[in-house]
Chains A and B, each alone.
Chain A
């Protein structure tokens, strides 16, 4: 498989299309309205079919107007069924878009003699053939799809820059927006218009259903990677670009390895962007599954270390010379995590191994006594303010001792004997 100028143009068209979709997609995801994007991209079909039937040609302006009108109608009907008909949003969306899509299919089938539009194109788009439909501007000959999607991208960027603040406020706090004199409903319909127009532009390139992938997935991926409103747009565009290039490359390069000639670029774009989402889902630095798991393990290890210190301190306190207890049974943790924790403590100079048992060093004893102090002060405090039986008291204190800061400790009082009758170790200063 060799790379040709056609492939370059396909990539450019795909990039423009994906980036144009990603912009309104960000707002859709933030407003939890992704499925309106889904509905509108489906209802582009009846819009285009009606425009075909009315004008009898593939006039782009007519197509655009038809699709935008039906897109707005979709948004309006969903709102009406939801509020007047008292049906939840999801179901309202499902009813409206399936019925309109069915109308589109029937119309297309009826009009099959008059116009050349074929259901496969609705699904796949025709980015592979977009290169051959060229327009000449001055001395340049450019594929029409590149211009269409480029214009869509620029328009969307302009709208979002102009209404940057308005979209932000209406997305996060519609009530505040109203008090500022911004009508949330107006922004809603502006967004719907933008989505419908973008979907028409992208329709011929990636097909009606994959428009959803380009609208939602880059935005959702960006949302997992950042907490900033502005950064989300930039990231989403960046992800869309990677998906477009990666999509085309994998569509023409991977299948030949297995003996196939190639696959649909639009489909591959959806798969690649899905793969990027998966990566973000797993490895996002703050919110990814991996990061969360690591954080959880760290906290667990912190707690096990503190528990070991506390246990050793208690053993020492009771003067049980024979260290016969097994850590696993008392601490209810696995042997492996206890061994890791002990090694960490040894490295920190808190414990040492001697006489076939683990013992506290001086600094270890100091830390341990602080933990025990927290524990026993909590027991005293809870006993005083929330009387409960002693076992529960111990359980609650067991949890609280790990999250007690020195300031908190100083405010828990200075009892000397806890409710079980044990002595509270003194704080370090005294």
Chain B
């Protein structure tokens, strides 16, 4: 039962009023969470936020019970949010307290606060449903989120919080960066590190609280960390991290909202988290910074270059010892397979570094030039190790074998100046037996 094109288009242009309220709300939430989440992640407090969001449950129920007891409307959003915020902060303080005054580490402190306060929340929730006045039935909507219950005023609250968050983050960007990367530097600059930390954690608490209604408290932490973690695979500068993370959060909210509006029985919160999760997987695989593909590509390129340099050096060494440079003698230079040598030789021929006449291989002019460069790097390093690091001549080959590929021209110049040589030094050990 696929939705019709008109339906899809209607959702895309936010035709329906209710859909518009929900989708704009979660988009604003995505932006705010993306911004704050970036710093949360850099500060290595990802799971503290998880404990914070679980700790809001008793806050919500206590606020509800207090409001009902005083004869007010129990579901006043502002009251519930205040309760959630207060308990969230208590949760964070408890974690810090346990960590500072016991031998337990962060992980246990987070687990304890998270589970015990959540348990307290469940107990109170059960009691709240029995309260004579007030209707607590909707309260457990905060656990898994209930985006459908959002109204225009909620979206306005979320949007203004997002705006404020953006403003604070933009103003305190430099200070937060110092807080995350080098607290001591910030302290030396005379910045109030403790107060900045409190501001940051309060922002986290506020974003968590506004995420409760749409995403739910179990998954609220995902909105904070998943977009920020995905952004890490696309850029390295803090400014671009913030922008990318906010965009990913925003797109996650939009796409999640659209999907859950179109497909029946798709709860909005989990779908948004899944969309963000999808973004993370894409970033993890294809991101240019540390993404799997990018990393494999770099490794592959390096391996290829190293192999080429190895075979060039092998050919140079063989041909400097005897006239004929045939396949078998190249094969004996290193412990490499027949197939590999064949492949490398054919690549040499393709790049016009070597030519083949009958069974004999010969370096072309450009091949010889490259080979000389590599051999020279290799032997300069060998001589250097022997002279300056006191390593025995028959032990230097392996070290030089690794370093020859990464010696830059400035390094080579330094070595030349140090060793006073501008020719190729002769090999300090017998050739052709190196492994």
Q: Which residues of A approach B to under 8 Å, CB–CB?
A: 29, 32-35, 37-38, 42, 81, 84-88, 90-91, 93-95, 98-99, 101-103, 105-106, 109-110, 112, 119-120, 123-124, 207, 209-210, 212-213, 215-217, 219-220, 223-224, 251, 255, 258, 260-264, 266-271, 273-274, 277, 281, 287, 289, 292
Contact = CB atoms under 8 A, between A and B. Distances in A.
Given A93-B47, A99-B273, A287-B102, A271 B119 contact: yes
Contacts of B143: 119, 123
B144 A105 contact: yes
B98 A85 contact: no
A29 B104 contact: yes
Interface string B241-272: 00000000000000000000000011101110
Interface of B: 41, 44-47, 49-50, 54, 98, 101-108, 110-112, 114-124, 126-127, 130, 140, 143-144, 218-219, 221-222, 225-226, 229, 232-233, 265-267, 269-271, 273-274, 276-277, 280, 284, 290, 292
Given A91-B41, A109-B265, A289-B101, A98 B226 contact: yes
Nearest to A269: B119
A258 B132 CA distance: 12
A251 B119 CA distance: 12
Contact of A98 (B54, B122, B219, B232): B219
Contacts of A88: 44, 46
Contacts of B44: 88, 90-91
Contacts of B123: 251, 263-264, 267-268, 271
B46 A91 contact: yes
A21 B277 CA distance: 30
Contact of B107 (A34, A264, A281): A34
A94 B47 contact: yes
Given A90-B44, A106-B267, A216-B112, A210 B118 contact: yes
Nearest to B119: A270
A106 B270 contact: yes
Contacts of B121: 267
Q: What 9 A-B pairs are tightest by C-beta distance, nearest first?
A: A270-B119, A274-B116, A213-B115, A267-B122, A98-B222, A99-B277, A102-B270, A267-B123, A216-B111
B75 to A, nearest CB: 20
A277 B222 CA distance: 28
B225 A94 contact: yes
B46 A34 contact: no
Contacts of A216: 108, 111-112, 115
Contacts of A105: 144, 267, 269-270
Given A32-B108, A123-B143, A209-B114, 8 more contacts: A42-B218, A99-B280, A213-B115, A216-B111, A220-B104, A263-B127, A267-B126, A274-B112
Given A35-B47, A217-B115, A270 B126 contact: no
A78 B21 CA distance: 36
A288 B111 CA distance: 19
